[in-house]
Structure 1
């Protein structure tokens, strides 16, 4: 998949996740409103419900949201996994998705890419339609405003009696049979139908006070935010339902504020005005905040609440509702299923970085090179520098350490006596553990800090021997390709606080006897298994490292190559990555 396909696939998965989140948020909001009826009329419940869906959508788009999951990956691949080649015992890393063998990955990845592209086209068509509707509504409102008559501040409109000099939005009277409404986010204007003058004076005053209450409560701005979310999530029916309930709560809230403390006679007059206005107005202008424009079902509920108002407005039910929404957000992030198509290969690890050792100028940077993963056996470069600097290692063949059963090496090919040369050549893990044990935990951690190596975390882990925790199988040490290049520049330029002896012996042992296009290569491979989000090892995929430097005609370039490989192959992932880099080096004009 191309980088663009990866982005589109994430949008597709995020859209699907927002539908599930919308269902959960809607269910929680409705249950809270039924349990605490006063909450139904509070704007915060419905607006924050929409924001919760938007937050979940945005979080799914983040590269590493899947690390929050606590449920296993749902494997959609029915094929039996092939037998894995014996691998070195290495720490696992976390990547966003699993991948299948190459042919299956290509086929299923192509399907995901096609689906993502189709969804992208559909999404932008829907977004364009929504924008067109909003534009038409705006034009209609502008036409109404242009045909109306501005009301002066001293106008004796019955609805404004007793409010002379009061701060209010500009009022415009129109002859169209519309509902009274506010228009404009930054400079609101109050549109009043001419027929409103036929109402009783008290009714006119209550109706206009209702609209002014909208203005004072900044309902226009909240509605605009909700409409914006409607546009982004036009495909999500639960967002439309939450938007509708927000509009209802705004109307109910204004009714409550306008009628608070008024006698029953005035409440009846206001309810009668609602019914009369509904009978006079035509279809409401789309996306406008309008008095009485929500239709007969909403009118019935509003009249019912006017007659029997809900007096209680305790704060703790609101806090309970908001806490429930927060739980929904967290649960969606943690429980979102990783539908592992064994194909999408989204975020498969692939990076090549090459930089001039002297200036640090990057000559090649391809792929994602800032993802931190386990250094695997490339950490042996640092261990070699530590070992020779501390005197634990003396030269190519000293010390020679015989293999002991207590080392419990999982790889039969490592169960033999080893010296520094064969240790780096064969990548023997148990020898690394003996070196760091002899250097000592405190000094090893000090070296890692002085080297500024990756995340510099060589933490002790409960149940894990320190010799393991401090070696290349450390469960906490992580480094990115970019950080590998930075570390290697310090090695090549001898900028680390170690002896020249350590540099010289390490360089000699890292020399690769295969010059490429005139370049002498010094490097170390590394292989590590990929760990799924549920903590289990993926038996089909490994990552391979090859890092080091090349020298030609006095020029020195450091490099880091990281590549993800399917396990069924004749070579470990590290060896495959080295071969890939050597092939690329032969073709590059550097």
Structure 2
């Protein structure tokens, strides 16, 4: 059986939500005040703490935690793995020449690498990669890793932005756990590279790896904090009725909760 034939055989599995219920998780209504302080009424936060002596699975708004939404630019994390595996990009040093088209985000208007494209969430780079990978292979990868509803839709250049592809906060954390454990069906070197380009901050005893996303309606922040005692995974999404004004709330809420858990240090 060919690789693509095998993937087609398991494609239906992607339609079944991973960790289909968050009801058995520990609900944290005490964290709802963090959302309230930020005036973020509609949202969810999923935390999986795997540190020694602190292990637990926590959730704010479990119903929302299982609701599949467009991943927006958080999909750039698995998409980078797809691109590396497909040979659409060689490494983090390969340069994607800017096409000269002025876009709304100034950081996009320059040559890019895989590292900068993830950092600046450069849509045109990943659209270029998606076209190189192709619809059939994108579909195969999504099915193989069981990512959300695993649907590419009609447009290979926008499926992670236009609502075709949808994933829940619980499923986001499941994917991140597998990436952390190097348990995804990709070369170990490629998984290590993607984890490296996800780094947002680091200090002597912790590393924060994360990716934001926004489709104009819902904002995401996903990732994990690595500590010597183990990782703490997180996935937050919230509605953004005030659009750009709501985007800082993603990190503000998540960081506050991670500080309460002593996963991140208190601000100096």
TM-score (norm 1): 0.35
Aligned equivalent of 1:374 = 70
Residues 403 and 579 (structure 1), Cα distance of their counterparts in 2 relative to 1, 3 Å cut: farther
Aligned CA RMSD, in angstroms, stands at: 2.8
Alignment check: 8 A CA contact 2:135 2:152 kept: no
Tell me what 2:6 maps to.
none
* Distance in 2 of aligned mates of 1:545 and 1:499: 27
2:211 alignment counterpart: 524
- Counterparts of residues 509-520 of structure 1 (less than 5 Å): 509-515=197-203, 518-520=205-207
Matched, 1:495 2:189: no
Matched, 1:549 2:227: no
The alignment status of 1:450 with 2:112, answered yes or no, reads no
1:358 to partner: Cα distance: 9.3
8 Å CA contact 2:51–2:229 kept in 1: the answer is: no
Q: How do 1:346-385 residues align onto structure 2 when only pairs under 5 Å count?
A: 348-356=41-49, 362-367=56-61, 368-385=64-81
Matches of 1:414 and 1:371, distance apart in 2 = 31
1:386 aligns with 2:45: no
**Post-superposition CA distance 1:545-565 (Å, at most 9, x none):** 111121101402221111234
Where relative contact order (Cα < 8 A, 6+ residues apart) is larger, the structure is 2
Contact 1:549 1:557 in 2 (8 A): yes
Q: Taking structure 1 as reference, are residues 576 and 452 closer, same or farther at Cα in structure 2, changes over 3 Å only?
A: same
Unaligned runs of 5+ in 1: 1-101, 107-344, 531-542
Per the TM alignment, residue 502 of structure 1 is displaced from its structure 2 partner at its CA by 1.2
Matches within 5 A, 1:163-562: 348-356=41-49, 362-367=56-61, 368-405=64-101, 409=103, 411-460=105-154, 465-469=155-159, 472-515=160-203, 518-530=205-217, 543-562=218-237
State the alpha-carbon separation in 2 of the partners of residues 413 and 551 from structure 1.
28
- Give the direction of change, closer, same or farther, for the CA distance of 1:589–1:508 in structure 2 (3 Å limit): closer
Aligned length: 223
CA contact (8 A) 2:69 2:163 kept: no
Instruction: For residue 357 of structure 1, report the CA deviation from its aligned partner.
Output: 5.6
Cα shift readout 1:208-231 (whole Å, capped 9, x = no counterpart): xxxxxxxxxxxxxxxxxxxxxxxx
Partner of 2:253: 580
- Cα distance change on mapping 1:567 and 1:514 into 2, 3 Å: farther
CA shift for structure 1 position 354:
1.3
TM-score, normalised with respect to structure 2: 0.74
Alignment partners' CA distance in 1, 2:162 and 2:114? 20
Q: Output the CA distance in 2 between the equivalents of 1:569 and 1:467.
A: 23
C-alpha distance in structure 1 between counterparts of 2:262 and 2:119, whole Å = 29
| SS of residue matched to 1:550 | strand
1: CA distance between counterparts of 2:188 and 2:174?
19
Shift of 1:382: 0.8
Deviation of the 1:411 alpha carbon: 4.0
**1:413 Cα offset (Å):** 4.3
Query: Structure 2 CA distance, aligned partners of 1:381 and 1:371?
Result: 20
- C-alpha contact (below 8 Å) 1:388/1:501 kept by paired residues: no
In structure 2, the partner of 1:306 is: none
Deviations 1:425-478 (A, max 9, x none): 110111110111112221111111111001111111xxxx43223xx3243111
The CA deviation at 1:396 is: 2.0
Runs of 4+ in 1 over 3 A off after TM superposition: 356-359, 408-413
Residue 404 (structure 1) shift: 4.4
Q: Which secondary structure state, in structure 1, belongs to the residue aligned with residue 70 of structure 2?
A: coil
